[in-house]
């Protein structure tokens, strides 16, 4: 069915729905994802289904530990967190920890493919400051499809500085995570894989409403859309405070006021706001997207009635969630702190170089499936998974100059680091863009300069990505990659044999791996079954306590061990009984 036919059917469907069912006007309670805490996180990704549309078929979705989306992971700065990511989808996937500063081999980008039926066990020390991050699939050319299914989740990082502040912190009560996205449902209530949807969703809830207490409430807003930006504001044009952006809290709360207080949130971005509901018990207000005031070249600002970018939401204003003010809770937050945290940003004088990244239209040079002859590209080339575009020395501070000659706006995202925006078209950015960021909307024809320090994690063979966070653009090649390299690391390729002993063999529950040469250790361990299906992926494993093989059924397996310094791979066979 083509998009025009689909749209006519959809309109017909909507008319029927509106005429026959009063529930079209009713609201659904905003779903609040469960939380997981501690240092061990079990995440099982699977194909499932959920009753998202109130009447008719359930929708086929992808969910983590549930029917769609995934649990909110609450982690503490300084903890070592262990992720047990089980892929029970029928497809390969990856899970990327967006905004997290961690080793590239744990990052979950397009290179860390988790085949179906495989357990991936990355771990890292949380080095980020208190912030709202998220996780989502990042399989090359499949990001749009897998994100559309609903796979993803919030990560809330806590730390001592944030905990010492009088901020709302009761999850789901006065501290509410809201992932905003849009979807297009076909006549069978299934998601269409399209860049813009016709239905707005808050935490995968259509026509959401939620009760908020009559006091200051913190909203952690995430733009989880495939393409659209949302120009956020409240239906009564109330003012609100911004307390945090992508990478953490600002130095001080920033009041957004005036006749039309707005905050433009693009794909991948987060913002934490404080909204005052004191004394308003019994009233209601809508969080809305005011996209009618957006220009034609801001994602979500265009009006496309037909074609592959068609959307009822383009260039219009719409409700996202209705907030119903109820009673005040015990120990309410009734004021806004005057200051928040002390951020230390890298200084321009410490930058070793300016790296120029162009954002452009390929002008007929390249043809990709949906965007056609004019793909959007970075550095004048389409993404190639086998090309490392940049190599950055460990601990180097760099200015990145994002130079757009594209007609369209693109939310640029980089892995590994949080950055500080220096200038937009030569001018200091607005105050609300002066905090830590990992996504910045580069408007058509503009130049954005940011500064970042590439510290802590070097890896000569595992790259980090940078890309447009519009999943369609990313999938079609608007992406590049860089490695951070440590010049002091010993990295010589040894031709010597790497003697390794496996025991016991046959094994049960635990398999021990021992290097005869004590100076050698494992960098990556992969276990495959007799049919060659990957079962375990263990980046940089700690082998002292043995490998947990209790999830493997009886049979013959191969284990491939990449040695750390030489990157040589040794493959051996073992039996589970
Ligand atoms: Cu949120 Cu590389 O992505
Ligand atoms: Cu990311
Ligand atoms: Cu783009």
Place of tokens 């494992």: 522
Beta strands 118-120 and 534-539: pairing type? parallel
Distance CA 293, CA 121 (A): 45
pLDDT tens per residue, range 99-122: 999 999 999 999 999 999 999 999
The residues that bridge with 365 in the sheet, in sequence order, are none
What pLDDT shows up at residue 270?
Answer: 98
What pLDDT shows up at residue 2?
Answer: 42
What pLDDT shows up at residue 492?
Answer: 56
Gap from CA of 429 to ligand 1 centroid (Å): 23
DSSP sequence for 45-66:
EEEEEE--SSSSPPEEEEEESS
**What number of other Cβ atoms are within 10 A of residue 45's Cβ?**
24
Nearest of 294, 286, 273 to residue 318 by alpha carbon? 286
Is the shortest distance between the CB of 149 and ligand 1 below 6 Å?
A: no
Q: List, in order, residues 6 or more apart from 336 with CB less than 8 Å away.
A: 216, 241, 253, 274
Helix (H), strand (E) at residue 4: helix 3-20
Q: List, in order, residues 6 or more apart from 36 with CB less than 8 Å away.
A: 42, 71, 72, 73, 74
Beta strands 547-548 and 510-515: pairing type? antiparallel
pLDDT tens per residue, range 305-334: 888 888 889 999 999 999 999 999 999 999
Distance CA 227, CA 254 (A): 27
Distance CA 53, CA 189 (A): 7
Q: Are 368 and 473 in contact (CB under 8 A)?
A: no
Q: To the nearest whole number, what is the mean pLDDT of the chain?
A: 93
Q: List, in order, residues 6 or more apart from 385 with CB less than 8 Å away.
A: 110, 111, 140, 481
What pLDDT shows up at residue 16?
Answer: 39
Length of the chain in residues, anyone? 577
pLDDT tens per residue, range 268-288: 999 999 999 999 999 999 999
Q: How is the beta sheet containing 479-485 ordered, strand by strand? A: 390-393, 479-485, 464-468, 410-414, 439-442
Q: Are 537 and 526 in contact (CB under 8 A)?
A: yes
Q: List, in order, residues 6 or more apart from 454 with CB less than 8 Å away.
A: 392, 393, 394, 395, 396, 397, 398, 416, 417, 484
Pairwise pLDDT comparison (310 vs 205), residue with the higher score: 205
Percent of the chain at pLDDT > 90 equals 87
User: Hey, what are 430's tokens?
Assistant: 């607005």
Gap from CA of 297 to ligand 1 centroid (Å): 22
Distance CA 30, CA 466 (A): 32
Q: Measured from the CA of 136, which atom of ligand 1 is nearest?
A: 1
3-state secondary structure of 293: helix
DSSP sequence for 549-566:
-TTSPSEEEEEEEEETTT
Gap from CA of 19 to ligand 1 centroid (Å): 41
pLDDT tens per residue, range 45-59: 999 999 999 999 999
What pLDDT shows up at residue 30?
Answer: 98
pLDDT tens per residue, range 436-483: 999 999 999 999 999 999 999 999 999 999 999 999 999 999 999 999
3-state secondary structure of 428: coil
pLDDT level of residue 4 (50, 70, 90 thresholds): very low
Q: Are 482 and 392 in contact (CB under 8 A)?
A: yes
Is the shortest distance between the CB of 155 and ligand 1 below 6 Å?
A: no
What pLDDT shows up at residue 491?
Answer: 55
Tell whether the model's pLDDT for residue 390 goes beyond 60. yes
C-alpha Rg value of the chain to the nearest Å: 24
Helix (H), strand (E) at residue 319: strand 317-325
Q: Measured from the CA of 98, which atom of ligand 1 is nearest?
A: 1
Pairwise pLDDT comparison (7 vs 495), residue with the higher score: 495
Q: Is the peptide bond before 504 cis (omega within 30 degrees of 0)?
A: yes
pLDDT tens per residue, range 139-197: 999 999 999 999 999 999 999 999 999 999 999 999 999 999 999 999 999 999 999 99
Distance CA 568, CA 520 (A): 11
User: Hey, what are 448's tokens?
Assistant: 């954005």
pLDDT level of residue 25 (50, 70, 90 thresholds): low
Q: Which residue lies with its CA nearest to atom 3 of ligand 1?
A: 98
Gap from CA of 147 to ligand 2 centroid (Å): 13
3-state secondary structure of 148: helix
List the shell of residues around ion ligand 2, using CB closer than 5 Å.
98, 415
Q: Measured from the CA of 415, which atom of ligand 1 is nearest?
A: 2
Instruction: Report how far Cα 61 is from the mean position of its chain's Cα atoms.
Output: 18
pLDDT tens per residue, range 224-269: 999 999 999 999 999 999 999 999 999 999 999 999 999 999 999 9
Tell whether the model's pLDDT for residue 494 goes beyond 60. no
CA–CA distances in Å: residue 562 to residues 106, 124, 461, 540, 552: 15, 19, 12, 9, 21
Beta strands 439-442 and 410-414: pairing type? antiparallel
Q: Measured from the CA of 466, which atom of ligand 1 is nearest?
A: 2
DSSP sequence for 496-517:
S---EEEEEEEEESEEEEEESS
Gap from CA of 334 to ligand 1 centroid (Å): 36
Q: Are 275 and 216 in contact (CB under 8 A)?
A: yes
Q: Are 562 and 520 in contact (CB under 8 A)?
A: no
Is the shortest distance between the CB of 111 and ligand 1 below 6 Å?
A: no
Is the shortest distance between the CB of 268 and ligand 1 below 6 Å?
A: yes
What pLDDT shows up at residue 441?
Answer: 98
Q: What is the DSSP code (8-state) at residue 71?
A: P
Distance CA 153, CA 438 (A): 17
Tell whether the model's pLDDT for residue 525 goes beyond 50. yes
User: Hey, what are 517's tokens?
Assistant: 């040469």
Is the shortest distance between the CB of 449 and ligand 1 below 6 Å?
A: no
Gap from CA of 369 to ligand 3 centroid (Å): 15
What pLDDT shows up at residue 42?
Answer: 98
Gap from CA of 332 to ligand 3 centroid (Å): 42
Tell whether the model's pLDDT for residue 374 goes beyond 60. yes
Please give, one letter per residue, the 3-state secondary structure of 321-389: EEEEECCCCCCCCCCCCCCCCCCCCCCHHHCCEEEEEEEEECCCCECECCCECECEEECCECCCCCCCC
Please compute the mean of the pLDDT values over residues 288-317 and round it to a whole number.
92
Is the shortest distance between the CB of 465 and ligand 1 below 6 Å?
A: yes
Is the shortest distance between the CB of 178 and ligand 1 below 6 Å?
A: no
Q: Which residue lies with its CA nearest to atom 1 of ligand 1?
A: 98
Gap from CA of 14 to ligand 2 centroid (Å): 36
pTM of the full structure:
0.93
Burial of 387 (0-12, 13-18, 19+ CB in 10 A): exposed
Q: List, in order, residues 6 or more apart from 430 with CB less than 8 Å away.
A: none
What pLDDT shows up at residue 164?
Answer: 98
């Amino acid at each position: 069915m083509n998009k025009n036919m689909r749209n006519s059917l959809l309109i017909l469907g909507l008319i029927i729905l509106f005429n026959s069912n009063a529930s079209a006007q009713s609201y659904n309670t905003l779903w609040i994802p469960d939380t997981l805490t501690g240092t061990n996180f079990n995440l099982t990704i699977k194909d499932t289904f959920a009753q998202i549309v109130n009447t008719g078929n359930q929708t086929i979705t992808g969910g983590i530990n549930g029917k769609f989306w995934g649990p909110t992971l609450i982690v503490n700065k300084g903890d070592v967190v262990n992720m047990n990511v089980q892929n029970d989808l029928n497809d390969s996937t990856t899970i990327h920890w967006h905004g997290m500063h961690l080793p590239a081999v744990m990052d979950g980008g397009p290179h860390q493919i988790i085949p179906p039926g495989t357990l991936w066990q990355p771990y890292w020390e949380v080095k980020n400051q208190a912030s709202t991050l998220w996780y989502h699939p990042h399989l090359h050319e499949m990001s749009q499809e897998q994100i559309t299914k609903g796979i993803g989740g919030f990560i809330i990082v806590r730390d001592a500085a944030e905990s010492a502040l009088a901020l709302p912190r009761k999850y789901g009560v006065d501290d509410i995570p809201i992932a905003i996205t849009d979807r297009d449902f076909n006549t069978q209530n299934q998601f269409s894989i399209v860049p813009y949807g016709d239905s707005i969703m808050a935490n995968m809830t259509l026509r959401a409403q939620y009760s908020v207490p009559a006091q200051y409430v913190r909203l952690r807003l995430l733009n989880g859309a495939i393409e659209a930006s949302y120009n956020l504001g409240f239906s009564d044009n109330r003012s609100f405070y911004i307390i945090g952006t992508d990478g953490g809290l600002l130095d001080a709360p920033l009041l957004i006021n005036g006749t039309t207080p707005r905050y433009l949130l693009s794909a991948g971005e987060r913002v934490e706001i404080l909204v005052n509901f004191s004394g308003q018990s019994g009233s209601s207000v809508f969080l809305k997207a005011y996209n009618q005031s957006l220009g034609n070249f801001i994602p979500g600002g265009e009006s496309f009635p037909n074609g592959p970018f068609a959307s009822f939401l383009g260039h219009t204003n719409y409700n996202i969630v209705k907030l119903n003010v109820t009673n005040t809770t015990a120990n309410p937050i009734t004021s806004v702190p005057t200051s928040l945290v002390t951020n230390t940003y890298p200084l321009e004088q410490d930058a070793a170089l300016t790296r120029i990244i162009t954002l452009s239209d390929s002008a007929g040079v390249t043809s990709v499936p949906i965007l056609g002859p004019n793909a959007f590209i970075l550095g004048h080339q389409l993404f190639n998974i086998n090309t490392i575009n940049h190599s950055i020395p460990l601990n180097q501070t760099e200015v990145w100059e994002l130079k757009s000659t594209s007609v369209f706006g693109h939310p640029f995202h980089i892995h590994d680091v949080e950055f500080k925006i220096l200038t937009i078209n030569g001018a200091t950015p607005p105050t609300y863009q002066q905090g830590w960021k990992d996504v910045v909307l580069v408007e058509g024809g503009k130049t954005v300069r940011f500064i970042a320090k590439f510290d802590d994690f070097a890896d000569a063979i595992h790259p980090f990505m940078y890309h447009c966070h519009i999943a369609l653009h990313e999938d079609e090649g608007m992406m590049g990659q860089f490695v951070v390299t440590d010049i002091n690391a010993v990295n010589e390729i040894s031709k010597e044999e790497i003697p390794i002993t496996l025991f016991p063999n046959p094994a049960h529950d635990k398999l021990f791996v021992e290097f005869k040469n004590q100076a050698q250790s494992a960098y990556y361990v992969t276990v495959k079954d007799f049919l060659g299906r990957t079962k375990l992926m263990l980046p940089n494993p700690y082998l002292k306590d043995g490998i947990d093989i209790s999830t493997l059924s009886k049979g013959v397996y191969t284990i491939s061990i990449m040695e750390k310094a030489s990157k040589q791979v040794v493959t051996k066979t073992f039996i589970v009984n």
